[in-house]
Amino acid sequence: MTTYGFDRAAPSEIQSWLVERLAEYLPDLGEAVDPHRQLGEYGLDSITVVAFAADVEEQLGIPVDPTAIWDYPTVSELAGYVADELAGRRPQAA
Amino acid sequence: MRTADLEARIAGWSRPGGPFDPAVLTAHDEAESFPAEACAALDAWGLPEYYVPVRYGGRQDRLDEFLALLRRIAARDLTVAVAHGKTFLGGVCAWVAQEDGPADLLARHVLAGQPVAWGLTEPDGGSDLLAGSLTATRHGSGWLLSGRKWPVNNATRGNLMCVLARTDPQGGPRGFTVFLIDKRATPAGTVRPLPKMPTHGIRGADISGVELRAARVPAHALVGTVGGGLELVLKSLQLTRIVCVSLSLGAGDHALGLLRRFLGERRLYGRDLVALPHVRVTAGRAVARQFLAEAVAHTAARAAHQVPEELSVVSAVAKAFVPTLIHGQLRLVGDLLGARGFLTGVEGYGGFAKLERDHQVVPLFDGSTWVNRAGLAGVLPLLRPGRRATAPGAASPVRWLREEHRPAPLDTRRLRLSAPRDSVLGALPTLVAELTGNDGTPGAADQTASLARALLRAYERLGADLAGTRPTGGAPSTAALRLAERYEWCFAGAAALALHAARPRLHDGPWGRDGLWLRGCLALVLEGLDSGPSAATQVYDRLGTLLGSTPDVPVSVLDDTAPDEPARDGSVEVPAA
Ligand SMILES: Cc1cc2nc3c(=O)[nH]c(=O)nc-3n(C[C@H](O)[C@H](O)[C@H](O)COP(=O)(O)OP(=O)(O)OC[C@H]3O[C@@H](n4cnc5c(N)ncnc54)[C@H](O)[C@@H]3O)c2cc1C
């Protein structure tokens, strides 16, 4: 069973969690990730997006295809998407 | 399947003066001229019908058959296979986009024999699709396209070309769109072919490019959705990368045919060449490489129908692994042929040097070995053994690899950019556990089982090494690429075991008796995983001896010349909604 360090019913907590995750992919970024800024502006390349999607998928136990990140290209939008997915599905064993 | 028919026709066309006469094809290679006669013969036979899915009026309904056809052509002449087979690549975006595009229109053109090119690469972009600068801007109801695609196969001969164009000046993964250009319908002077490039191999092929200067295309040239181009291309590449490996299989067939003839003819020190142990073992390694390549290619082709959501992994493994494996095989064969592998004018053997040159393009186009391996490396932590229990409702590959299994229609809506699981490698523990000790003599069966257990241990070690990794962005480290390579070897071993379990026929005959072919594959896999078994030499020795002593037995574990039969087991799969 997946355990989360946040309340999965609360999109704001999902958002903070995603901000932290993303920061791991942007070690050179000297500031906090702005949830309303386009991820592309942070220089996230296509392989990184696939990896990031895989990471979110792995940690949450819900399918997150890289295209979800393309279609919800800010952390805030992505958090909304993830919240909907989590509400709609029970997490699978990870 | 019409594979047997095509094979017989090509044999006929290969007689002196025929379109596949090696002398004619060699002359084209030397003159760097297009093998037009051979391509025309394939058109007349009806090959273009296999580039079009059944739902659009063609005959393409199973990838394993298509691979078998292209392989037969590649086995005679790789340049012809690349030059003609390109139309499959050119069309695939339209089939994947389904009704969101000009699929019906394209189908009519392809069925009428029009070649289609696929323009992804740009001079400054190389492997980086997001760097593309060929731009499409809206113009009335249609679009204006400007920029260059180069190098592109068939770019000059093909009136039709599918291109990936930038539709958002900012680019990004939703900033690109695919268009189908019909050069004949563009205003004069706006489309210019770029000159044919001299090449190291496939010298007769039309490797050139195209330059568009505000070329106007109509609204119906749009393939898929605006902004959907990168996703469409990445999904299409999952299919074309599997198809491309048939070129390697054909190259392997060609090389093994030459080697076999050499083993039958060459005498040294008053004895047949196969009397030299090194020759037998090297020939056996080359044979084992062919079988392992077949197992991966065939599994990938069936997987496209059965588990399309896993193809991002399956296609990357196939494209990184098989051309590399066959590249190594050609080196082994070239070694054995000695001077005849190098001299181009010796009757019968001159083709080897051309074949070796031609094959060098296979590992580099449609995503190079390293591009595919890097893609795999990025998601390996997600594929870690045991990460997901068993796939929900996933059927074992053994089920869908059975000879009589009729693949479900290809459902491109199920393609995804990252795979939720890998059912082929995921089946490895069960495949090893279920290896029955009753095929072959007890000694051989024990040896097979012991090789399979060693593979399982190597796979568990890979799992342990992956346990500490997390998905990473950017360029993968060398260590991560090596993990991906180990993953490929494990996958290949699982594919061979699954094929063995699925096909009782493969437990017999010269290659199958005592599980010989399977042991050859497992020995190679274990060597690739740095756990070379002591039994390997003896297994290769037997394979090499058989190659020289059974001139009429095809070097293949696939019987894809069998006529198409309705499924006897009722195993037409209904794809999950
Ligand atoms: C004969 C021929 C026919 C072709 N036909 C077509 C065609 O029909 N249509 C078309 O669009 N293109 C075609 N191409 C282009 C082909 O697909 C390109 O060669 C390919 O896109 C790679 O570009 P590049 O060779 O410039 O290598 P680059 O992208 O410059 O790569 C250089 C090196 O870096 C490696 N590399 C690249 N990315 C990574 C990564 N992420 N991780 C690790 N290593 C990496 C590569 O493997 C290579 O070794 C053709 C090329 C040839 C030679």
Instruction: Return the residue matching tokens 């796939």.
Output: B391
Q: Is residue A66 within 8 Å of residue A49, measured between CB atoms?
A: yes
Interface of A with B in 5-24 (CB under 8 A): none
Is 80 exceeded by the pLDDT of residue A10? no
How many Cβ atoms are within 10 Å of A26's Cβ, its own excluded? 16
Length of chain B: 577
DSSP B251-311: HHHHHHHHHHHHHHH-EETTEEGGGSHHHHHHHHHHHHHHHHHHHHHHHHHHHHHH-GGGH
B314: closest CA among B419, B218, B244? B419
The contacts of residue B138 (CB under 8 Å, 6+ apart) are B144
Place of tokens 């009428």: B112
Ligand 1 atom 40: residue of nearest CA: B371
Report pLDDT digits (tens) over A67-87.
Answer: 999 999 899 999 999 988 888
Does the pLDDT value for residue B177 go beyond 90? yes
Cα of A28 from ligand 1 centre, angstroms: 29
- Give per-residue pLDDT as tens, B178-191: 999 999 999 999 99
User: B320 or A52: whose pLDDT is higher?
Assistant: B320
The whole-angstrom separation of Cα B469 and Cα B198 is: 44
Q: pLDDT for B406-418, tens place per residue? A: 999 999 999 999 8
Nearest to B146 by CA among B219, B215, B209, B194: B215
CA gap B330, B438 in Å, rounded: 35
With 0-12 CB in 10 A as exposed, 13-18 as middle and 19+ as buried, what is B551? exposed
**Comparison of pLDDT for B48 and B573, the residue scoring more:** B48
Q: Is A63 on the interface with B (CB under 8 A)?
A: yes
**Does position A91 have pLDDT exceeding 60, yes or no?**
no
Residue B436, number of CB atoms within 10 A of its CB: 11
Report the C-alpha gap between B210 and B217 in whole angstroms: 15
In this predicted structure, what is the pLDDT of residue B391? 53
Q: Please state the atom number of ligand 1 nearest to the C-alpha of residue B155.
A: 8
What local confidence, expressed as pLDDT, does residue A55 receive? Answer: 82
Q: Which two tokens stand for residue B516?
A: 């010989």
Interface test with A, best of B168, B230, B309, B472 (most A CBs within 10 A): B472
Mutate to test the pocket of ligand 1, among B233, B234, B368, B379 (most ligand atoms within 8 A of CB): B368
**Please, which residues bridge with residue B222 across strands?**
B179
* pLDDT score for B10: 98
Please state, for a pLDDT cut of 70, what percent of chain B lies above it: 94
Average pLDDT over residues A30-54: 83
Say whether B181 sits in a helix, a strand or coil: strand
CA B237-B93-B146 angle, 5° bins: 100
B102 backbone dihedrals φ, ψ, rounded to 5°: -85, 40
Residue B87 makes CB contacts below 8 A (sequence gap 6+) with B48, B51, B110, B114, B115, B116, B154, B158
The DSSP line for B496-536 is: HHHHHHH-GGGGSHHHHGGGHHHHHHHHHHHHHTT---TTH
Cis peptide before B151 (omega within 30 of 0): yes
pLDDT band at B423 (very low <50, low <70, confident <90, very high): very high
Give every CB contact of residue B359 below 8 A, 6+ residues apart in sequence: B78, B201, B247, B248, B251, B323, B326, B327, B330
Asked if B159 and B117 touch (Cβ cutoff 8 Å), the reply is: no
Q: Whose CA is nearest to atom 26 of ligand 1?
A: B126
CA distances from B121 to B129, B131, B148, B208 (A): 7, 9, 9, 11
Q: How confident is the model at residue B101 (pLDDT cuts 50, 70, 90)?
A: confident
Residue A65 CA to its chain's centroid (Å): 11
Q: What is the model's pLDDT at position B190?
A: 98
- Residue whose C-alpha is closest to residue B561's, from B326, B400, B406, B403: B403
CA–CA distance, B61 with B73 (Å, rounded to integer): 19
- How far apart CA B467 and CA B461 sit, in angstroms, is 10
In a 10 Å sphere around its CB, with 0-12 CB exposed, 13-18 middle and 19+ buried, how is residue B564 labelled? exposed
Let me know: does B253 contact B71? Beta carbons within 8 Å: yes
Q: What is the pLDDT of residues B491-534, one digit of tens each?
A: 999 999 999 999 999 999 999 999 999 999 999 999 999 999 99
Distance from CA of A50 to the nearest CA of B (A): 7
β-pairing verdict for B160-166 and B222-223: unpaired
CA B88/CA B85 separation, integer angstroms: 6
Q: Which of A58, A71, A92 sits opposite B471 (nearest CB)?
A: A58
B130/A46 Cβ within 8 A: yes
Query: Could you tell me how far CA B569 lies from the centroid of its own chain?
Result: 28
Distance (Å, whole) CA B260 – CA A50: 45
Q: Are B322 and B248 in contact (CB under 8 A)?
A: yes
Q: What interface predicted TM-score (ipTM) does this complex get?
A: 0.81
Contact between B138 and B71 under an 8 Å Cβ cutoff? The reply is no
CB B536 less than 6 A from any atom of ligand 1: no
B172: its two tokens: 């990004």
- Which of B74-88, B299-313, B432-446 is predicted with the least confidence, judged by mean pLDDT? B432-446
Confidence grade of residue B194 (pLDDT, cut at 50, 70, 90):
very high
Tokens representing B507 are: 């437990």
The residue whose two tokens read 């599918």 is B162
Would you call A47 and B375 a contact, using CB atoms and an 8 Å cutoff?
A: yes
Contacting residues for B528 by C-beta, under 8 A, at least 6 apart: B485, B486, B489, B492
Three-state SS letters, B211-256: EEEEEEECHHHEECCCCCHHHHHHHHHHHHHHHHHHHHHHHHHHHH
Q: How many angstroms separate the most distant Cα atoms in chain A?
A: 36
pLDDT at A89: 55
Mean pLDDT for the stretch of residues B561-576: 43
Q: Are strands B160-166 and B116-119 parallel, antiparallel or unpaired?
A: parallel
Kind of pairing between the strands at B160-166 and B176-182: antiparallel
B154 CA closest ligand 1 atom index: 8
Ligand 1 lined by B348 (C-beta under 6 Å): no
Average pLDDT estimate for B355-368:
96
A15, A75 contact by CB (below 8 A): yes
Running DSSP on this structure, what letter comes out for residue B184? Answer: G
- Mean pLDDT for B196-210 is 97
Tokens standing for residue B344: 């181009």
- Whether the CB-CB separation of B381 and B470 falls below 8 Å is answered with yes
Distance CA A21, CA B327 (A): 41
Any atom of ligand 1 within 6 Å of the Cβ of B525:
no
Which residue of B309, B379, B469 to mutate against A (max A Cβ within 10 Å)? B379
Band of pLDDT at residue B389, cut at 50, 70 and 90: low
Q: What is the pLDDT of residue B566?
A: 42
The strand pairing partners of B185, in sequence order, are none
Q: What is the DSSP letter of B383?
A: G
Segment B203-229 shows an average pLDDT of 97
pLDDT, residue B381, reads 84
Whose alpha carbon is nearest atom 30 of ligand 1?
Answer: B126
